[in-house]
Structure 1
Amino acid sequence: MTNLNELAATLRLPVEPIRSPMFIDGKEYTGNSGEFVARKSPGHGVPVTSTVRATVEDLNAAVASARRASDDGRWSRLSGEQRATVLLKAAQLIRDNVETLTYLETLESGKPIGQSRGEIGAAAGIWEYAAGLARVVHGDTHDTLGGDLFGLVVRQPIGVVGIVTPWNFPFFILSERLPFVLAAGCTAVVKPAELTSSTTLKLAALLIEAGLPDGVVNVVTGLGSVVGQALAEHMDVDMISFTGSTPVGRSVLAAAGGNMKKVGLELGGKNPQIVFADADLDDAADAIAFGIAFNAGQCCVSGSRLVVHRSVEQQLVERVKAVLEKVRVGDPLDAANHVGAIVEARQFDKIRGFINAGRRDGAQLVCGGTASNEGERFFIEPTVFRNVQPQSALAQEEIFGPVLSVTPFDTFEEAIQLANGVPYGLAASIWTRDLQGAIKSFREVQAGRIWVNCTITGGPEMPIGGVKQSGIGRETGRYGLEEYTELKSVHIQVGSRPRWIA
C-alpha cells in the first residue's frame, strides 16, 4: 500500500482501505473476531479505511486494562507536572501529524479538507490548555470547624471513564473530553463512531509516543448498539461521557443505572439565531449562512432556526440567500469547496425527507433543496425555507443537515417564546446592537451556550453543554475538568477528641 503520509501529502485516494486495529493496553489489538469492516468515503463512494467490528469480549478486555491502570496509580499518582508534560507532548505530536490526521478525517467524515485541518489544529490547542489544568486541580480547606477540628475537601479522579464520540467531529469532540479526563488523572475506554474511527486510533498511538503509560487510554471500535451499550452498562466503568442524539442519550442514561455511574451527555440541538430589527444584517447573514452550512449542517450547535423580527425578515433572508449562492458544494479533498458530503446514506435520506416535508407543509423554499447521491457520494445544497410554522417538523426536530427554517416575530416576548419553544437547549445566537436587549435576551434564552453577534466560536476556556433535552453536565474549561473528579471531605482532629463516655 502507498505510504499514508504520501497519500496525505498528495490528497490521493488509497488504492485499498487503510487498515487500523483497535488499541488496548498500549498496543494494537485485532480482537476476538478479527473482523474488519470497510468504510466508504461519503464524498467519493469508494472504500478508504477499515476498522475492527469489536465484540463485548473485546470491550471487556479494554475496560479491564483501564481498570488496572486506574487502580495501580500508574497515571493518577503522577504529579500534575508529569501529566502536563505528557499532554503537551501529545499536543505537539498532533501538530506534527496534522496532515495525516486531516486526510483521514476528511476521507471518513466527508468534511472539506480545510475544515478538517482547522479542527485538528484547534484540537491541539485544547490539549495544550488541558495540560495547564493538570497542574491546578485543587480542593478547599475549612478552618472554621473549631479549634480542635480541621477540614479538607480533596478532589480526586473519578476512575475509569467511558467516552462515546459521534461521527460529525470525531477528532475535535474527543479532544474536548479526553485531555480533561487525563488531566484529572482518570483512565479511559474510548468508543468512536463506527463510521469515523481512524483518527481516534491514530491518536491512541500518538499518546503512547508522548509517554502515556500503557492501559491509560484504550480504543474499541464497532457498533454502538453492541460495544457502546456494553460500555454504558459496564460495572467497572465509573463514568460515561456520551455525545450524540437525544434518543440514544436516553438509553445511555438508563444503562448507566446498573452501578449508578456518573453520566455526562451532550445531545441534540435545535438552535435559534435570534435577529432583532437593529442588528447588522450583513454580518448576521454571513454568520447565519455559515452556521447552517458548516460541516454540511451536521453540527449539534448548528443555527438551524432563524427567528427574525418581521420588519427585517425579507431583507435578511435575501442576504442569507446571496451568501449561500456563493457557497461551493463538492469533493471534500478540493480545498476550494466550502461544503462537503453528508456522512452516509441514512443521514442523506433523513435530511432529504425533511426537505420534502417542508415542501408538503407549505413552507416557502427560498434556495437549495437539491440533493445528489450519484455513485454513493452524498451531497445536499444548503436549503432555506420561509414561513415555517413553529410547531412543524422543520422547526421542532433536529435535522442535522444544511436546512434553515425561518420564522418571524413581532415582539421581544414572542422571540423568546419561539427560541425556547423546542425540547432542546444546546446553543443560541443573538443579533442586536442594543446591549441592554442582548443581556435581557441571553438571560431568558434557555441554552447552555450563547453567542451575541457571533456564532459557533470560542475556545477551550469556556464550558460547553446543554439544558433540557440537550444534555447533562459540562465539558471543557475548568468545569470540564471537574466533571471527571469526585470530592472527598476529610475531617482532622487536631486536639483531643471529646469522649462519648468519660
Structure 2
Amino acid sequence: MTTNTQKLSLPENPRHFGLYINGRWVETAGRKVMERYSPAHGVLVTKTTGGTEKDVNEAVAVARKAFDNRSWAGLSGQLRADVLLKAANLIRDRAEELAVLETLETGKPITQSRGEIQASAGIYEYAAGAARMLHGDSFNNLGDNVFGLVTREPIGVVGLITPWNFPFFILSERLPFILASGCTVVAKPSDLTSATTLIMAEILTQAGLPDGVFNVVTGAGSVVGEVLSHHPDIDMLSFTGSTAVGKRVLAASAGNFKKLSLELGGKNPHVVFADARLEEAVDGVIFGFCFNAGQCCVGGSRLLVEKSIQAEFEHLLIEKLGRLRVGDPLDPETQVGAIVSDKQHETICDYIERGTKQGARLLTQGTVSTTVKGLFVQPTIFSDVTSEMDIATDEIFGPVLSILPFETVNEAITIANTTIYGLSATIWTQNLSHAMDAVRGIRAGRVWVNTTISGGPELPAGGFKQSGIGRETGIYGVEEYTEIKATHIAFGPRTPWVS
C-alpha cells in the first residue's frame, strides 16, 4: 500500500467511465469517448463519455420525476442528513482513489488533492447539519383571526456546472447544500476533470440517495452545458467558471427565468501595509498566487504594497520564491504542479510575454524541476506594474503576480477596486483601523485579514460586480436553492364582501 510519503506511480491503464443517470451507470455505447491525458506526464489516465442532448433531456426528465414524486424533497431534514453523513464516510473510505484521480486529471500536487478530498468530506457533514437547520418563520402579529407562515421549499431541478480547477472541492461546496434543500440535480463537470464527480454519484447511491436525485452527464460545454443552460425544465442553474461564459449562461436563463448562482472570474488584491508582519505576508502572498499553480479563482494575483516597504518586500519575495518546490504532482514533496491544459499553458505564457512588452519589470521567476516535462510554468513576479496593463486587469489564471505600490489607505482601496471583478481580497496589517477601512472599502465577496484562501463551509462564498451573483456554502448556500412561500391562514367566519 502506498503511504503518504512515497511517490506514486502512473497507472498502467486508463479508467473508463460512462454517464450516471437514475442511480446507475450508462455505458458509452456509440457515444464519443473523451480521452484525458495527465498534464504533468502526457499519459492517458481516464476515458469519459461525451453526452448528447438526448442524454441531458433524459437526465432532466429523471430528475424532474424524482423531484415531483418527493422521494427526496418529501423526506425530513434528519433523513437527508443521514444520507449526507454516510456520503462523508464513504468519501473518506475512497479518499486515496479520489485524490489520485484528481491529481492525474488536474495536475495538482497529490498532497493538495488529499487535503481537498478530506475537507470535502467535512463539508458534507456540515451540510448534513444545515439540512436539519433549514426553517421558515411565523407571524403571530396579524390579529386573532389570521396566522402567517413563511416556508422555504426546494426550488426544483438544479443544473450544476463545475470547473476543472477544483473539480471535487467545488462540487462539494455546492452539491451537498443543494441536496440538503431537497432539490434534485443534473451535473456537468468539466470535460477535462470528470472522474471524481462520477465517482461521487456512485458514492451517493451507496449512501442511500434515491435514484434520479443526482445525475451526471459528462461531455463538452458546447453540448451538455448549452442544453442545461437553455433547458425549460431546469429551475435553477449553478455555474462556476469564467465571466465570459457566465454572461452567456445569464442570457440563456431568460428562456424560463431560471434562478442563477454564478461564481465567476477574479483579479484579487493582496494589500500589504508597512506595519504588517512581513515574513507572514510574504508567505501568504506566494501561497495566494502559486496555490494550484495560480489556477484559483480567489487567489491573489495583484500585490498592492505600501511604497515605503516595497523594496524590502520584493527582496523577501525573491528569496522565498526560490525555495518553492515546483514539479511532479505525484511527488508528496511538490508544492506546485502542472497547468491543466495546453490552451491554458499558452494563455499564461502569452500574458508573461505581454507583461514584458507593456513595460512591467520582470522581478523574478521561480524554477521548475528539470526532471519533469509536462505543462509547467515558472511562478513569475512583475514589478513597476500600472493598473492599465493587461497583467493587472485580466484574469490570467496562472502563477503570475503583479506588484502595484500605494501610499495611503484610500489609494490602496481605489487600486483594489479598479477592476470589473470583486471575488476576494486579502489584507495584511497589524493596524485595526487600516484593516477595517480596507474591509469596508474593498468591494469583494470574501475578504481575509492576515490569512488567505482559508476557512471552512460555515461562511458564504460569492462575488461582487462581474465576479458573480448568489452565494454558496453556509446556511446561505442551502437557502439559495429554495423558494420562499408566504401563507395566510384565516380563522373564524369570513366577513362578506357581497351582502
Instruction: Name whichever of 359-368 and 295-304 sits farther off.
Output: 359-368
Matches within 5 A, 1:87-486: 87-368=84-365, 377-486=374-483
Superposed CA offset, 1:297-349 (max 9, x none)? 00000100000110011111111222211111111001111100000000000
TM-score by length of 2: 0.97
| 1:371–1:253 Cα change, 3 Å | farther
Residue 478 of structure 1 aligns with an amino acid whose one-letter code is I
Percent of aligned pairs with the same amino acid: 56
Residue 204 of structure 2 aligns with an amino acid whose one-letter code is L
SS in 2 for 1:274: strand
Using the alignment, how far apart are the partners of 2:380 and 2:333 within structure 1?
20
Matches within 5 A, 1:26-45: 26-30=23-27, 33-45=30-42
Residue 483 of structure 1 aligns with an amino acid whose one-letter code is E
Q: Which runs of 5+ in 2 are unaligned?
A: none
Residue 327 of structure 2 aligns with an amino acid whose one-letter code is G
Using the alignment, how far apart are the partners of 2:369 and 2:387 within structure 1?
29
SS in 2 for 1:304: strand
Using the alignment, how far apart are the partners of 1:85 and 1:317 within structure 2?
51
Residue 141 of structure 1 aligns with an amino acid whose one-letter code is S
Q: Is the 8 A contact 2:380 2:401 kept in 1?
A: yes
Using the alignment, how far apart are the partners of 1:372 and 1:433 within structure 2?
37
Residue 152 of structure 1 aligns with an amino acid whose one-letter code is L
Using the alignment, how far apart are the partners of 2:29 and 2:377 within structure 1?
39
Using the alignment, how far apart are the partners of 1:351 and 1:183 within structure 2?
38
Using the alignment, how far apart are the partners of 1:20 and 1:456 within structure 2?
32
Q: Is the 8 A contact 2:327 2:372 kept in 1?
A: no
Instruction: Name whichever of 180-189 and 435-444 sits farther off.
Output: 435-444
Once the two structures are TM-superposed, the CA of residue 33 in structure 1 deviates from its matched residue by 3.4
Superposed CA offset, 1:408-429 (max 9, x none)? 0111111111000000000000
1:51 aligns with 2:51: no
Using the alignment, how far apart are the partners of 1:281 and 1:375 within structure 2?
33
| 1:63–1:374 Cα change, 3 Å | farther
Q: Is the 8 A contact 1:54 1:222 kept in 2?
A: yes
SS in 2 for 1:135: helix
Using the alignment, how far apart are the partners of 1:372 and 1:256 within structure 2?
46
| 1:401–1:372 Cα change, 3 Å | farther
Instruction: Name whichever of 429-438 and 419-428 sits farther off.
Output: 429-438
Superposed CA offset, 1:96-152 (max 9, x none)? 110000000000000000000000000000000000011111001011112211110
Once the two structures are TM-superposed, the CA of residue 451 in structure 1 deviates from its matched residue by 0.1
Q: Is the 8 A contact 1:193 1:224 kept in 2?
A: yes
Q: Is the 8 A contact 1:426 1:470 kept in 2?
A: yes
Using the alignment, how far apart are the partners of 1:331 and 1:134 within structure 2?
40
Hey, what does 1:490 align to over in structure 2?
A: 487
Q: Is the 8 A contact 1:62 1:218 kept in 2?
A: yes
SS in 1 for 2:133: coil
- CA root-mean-square deviation: 1.7
SS in 1 for 2:132: coil
Once the two structures are TM-superposed, the CA of residue 432 in structure 1 deviates from its matched residue by 0.8
Once the two structures are TM-superposed, the CA of residue 373 in structure 1 deviates from its matched residue by 12
Residue 309 of structure 1 aligns with an amino acid whose one-letter code is E
Using the alignment, how far apart are the partners of 1:370 and 1:276 within structure 2?
28
SS in 2 for 1:292: helix
Residue 16 of structure 1 aligns with an amino acid whose one-letter code is N
Using the alignment, how far apart are the partners of 2:420 and 2:27 within structure 1?
41
Aligned pairs, number? 498
